[in-house]
Amino acid sequence: MIVHVDMDAFYASVEQRDNPSLIGKPVIVGGSADGRGVVAASSYEARKFGIFSAMSAHRAKQLCPNAIFIRPRIDYYASVSKELRQIFEEFTPIIEPLSLDEAFLDVTGSEKAKGSAVHIGREIKSLVRERLNLTASVGVAPSKFVAKIASDLEKPNGFVIVMPELVQAFLDPLPVSRIWGVGKVKEQTFKRFAISTIGQLRCMSLDTLQELFGTSAEHYWRLSHGIDDRAVVPDRDAKSISNETTFAEDLRDTEDLKAWLVLLVEQVGQRLRRSEKIGRTIELKIRFASFKTVTRSLTLHRSTNITKELLEGALQVFTNHRQNDREPIRLIGFGVSNLSSDGLVQLDLFDQPEREQQKSIDKVTDEIAKKFGKHALHRATAVKKPSKGNETK
């Protein structure tokens, strides 16, 4: 059994927790509404006004003039995420984080010592509330696909259990858009063939789906039948470490997209250092409004987990790609592969002082966030348009 834990409005909830005067108010974590910033996260009070991540901060201000805008503190959120990880580790070592605020846990081998998967899920929710003063939504199911849907179904503070014998009954009534890889464009394609629910999709033969959707057909067919045999892979065993975000509205502005890329690189850097890993190959993933997906990679001249070095490579790949394609983007992802253990890297004699300085910056930032979260250092370029001539941090 797999548990998927997804924190509720994580960034905004942390800000409300630390400043109780914000509780019950529409809080937006992101760039300034006076500039060209974008929304990184919003409280549930703000979401009632139709505000969502990746929306321009200016538009969010129009929808909710009384919204309270707060600059992101990614390093601090990472320190809270580390506390969350410590809770997970009390129940299982098999943890696959997807970002700072969500993770898969394989608790199959923990049930004899820690209780059933359902009990573990409830305990995690309780400890998150008790120790972090935050809420999490939890899904418990026999696969990643179903567990992730379950955790999202009754947000916020949801808890949904799907036992193995009930998977199909759980999936069938859900909209086909719940299938991974089915966006707005693909959803409309399904509707043209009178497919609006997962159950209707399941009733179609694989041959028919292949005629309609080609190479994607087997993916749709398997998930509609609840088939997902992917294992939960901890960072320490992963062949790559990555994060991605899907925008509620397609983004076209290059500077907004760069700001989101900064956030993703920061999170991947945190995970690499926490796992004591370094990587040599970086990969940028872009999914367009048309749902066409491309990946672009770059092999660095040495392995690293230094945020500045990862970001320089990411921005190089992104800039090269964006010069040739200005289509709106619905998803952006960043990953690092070709991993090895930290410390097993050839040092360059002449630039070693610069690298040590950057490693020290990362270390100090991580430690300050851990010990003095409310006053933690943060990178100002995230979710805010960089000033001219200062596009990297």
Distances in whole angstroms, Cα of residue 245 to Cα of each of 42, 236, 258, 334, 354: 15, 22, 13, 9, 31
CA 318, CA 158: separation in Å to the nearest integer? 37
Handedness of CA 218, 221, 223, 225 (dihedral sign): negative
Name the CATH topology of 235-375.
Answer: Dna Ligase; domain 1 (3.30.1490)
Determine the 3-state secondary structure of 297 from DSSP.
strand
The CATH superfamily holding the domain 174-224 is 5' to 3' exonuclease, C-terminal subdomain (1.10.150.20)
The residue to which tokens 């040092």 are assigned: 347
The full set of domain ranges for the chain reads: 2-8+74-167, 10-70, 174-224, 235-375
- Known catalytic residues? 102
28-51 burial string, b = 16+ CB within 10 Å, else e?
bbbbebeebbbbbbbbbbbbebeb
> Which has the closest alpha carbon to 197: 169, 178, 183?
178
Reported CATH class of domain 2-8+74-167? alpha beta
The pTM of this model reads 0.77
Contact predicate 42/12, CB 8 Å: yes
> Which has the closest alpha carbon to 279: 254, 320, 314, 244?
314
State the pLDDT at residue 188.
86
pLDDT tens, the chain, 393 aa long: 999 999 999 999 999 999 999 999 999 998 877 766 788 899 999 999 999 888 888 889 999 999 999 988 888 898 999 999 999 999 999 999 988 899 999 999 888 889 999 999 999 999 999 999 999 999 999 999 999 999 999 999 999 999 999 999 999 999 999 998 787 778 888 888 899 999 999 999 999 989 888 888 899 999 999 999 999 998 878 888 998 888 877 888 888 888 889 889 988 998 888 888 899 999 999 988 877 889 999 999 889 999 999 999 999 999 988 876 678 898 899 999 999 887 544 444 445 555 555 555 666 565 554 554 433 444 545 444 433 333 332
The 8-class DSSP code of residue 56 comes to B
Which helix (H) or strand (E) segment holds residue 6: the answer is strand 2-7
Reported CATH class of domain 10-70? alpha beta
